[in-house]
């Protein structure tokens, strides 16, 4: 199991309506300080969520710990729309703290 495989595995488990930070993904993937590397992987994402296959990766649900939108291959405005469509609360370009996914719950 490579780092990238673990990352994609974690991201694919994020429930709709919730988000997770790059940092947390890196942590769950077993490499605590690889937040930046996670971003690289999302950009290279081989399975965009809209394919809706069971292997799709909802990369739009991965955001910065700062609560801002962060980047997105299809444009940040698109990323915001997608998140809102799934029920994520975004006010003035900031994601509500309660929208962050917690692995327990």
Partner DNA sequence: TAGCTGACGCAAA
Partner DNA sequence: ATTTGCGCCAGCT
Which residues participate in catalysis according to the annotation?
A: 59
Per CB under 7 A, 8 contacts DNA = no
Give the number of other Cβ atoms within 10 Å of residue 59's Cβ. 26
**Joined tokens for residue 68:** 């801002």
Residue 52 makes CB contacts below 8 A (sequence gap 6+) with: none
Q: Which residues from 39-78 bind DNA, rule CB under 7 A? A: 39-45, 59-60, 62, 64-66, 70-73
User: Shortest Cβ distance from residue 93 to DNA (Å)?
Assistant: 10
Per CB under 7 A, 33 contacts DNA = yes
Tell me the CA distances in angstroms from 2 to 45, 81, 92, one per residue in order.
15, 32, 37
User: Shortest Cβ distance from residue 87 to DNA (Å)?
Assistant: 19
Please say which residue, 21 or 99, places its beta carbon nearer to DNA. 21
Site string (86-105) toward DNA, x via CB under 7 A: --------------------
SS3 94: strand
């Amino acid at each position: 199991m490579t780092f990238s495989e673990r990352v994609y595995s974690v991201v694919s488990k994020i429930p709709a309506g919730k988000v997770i930070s790059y940092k947390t993904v890196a942590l769950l993937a077993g490499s605590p300080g690889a937040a930046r590397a996670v971003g690289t992987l999302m950009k290279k994402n081989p399975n965009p969520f809209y394919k809706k296959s069971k292997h799709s990766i909802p990369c739009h649900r991965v955001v910065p710990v700062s609560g801002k939108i962060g980047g997105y291959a299809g444009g940040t405005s698109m990323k915001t729309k997608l998140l809102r469509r799934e029920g994520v609360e975004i006010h003035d370009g900031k994601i509500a703290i309660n929208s962050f996914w917690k692995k327990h719950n």
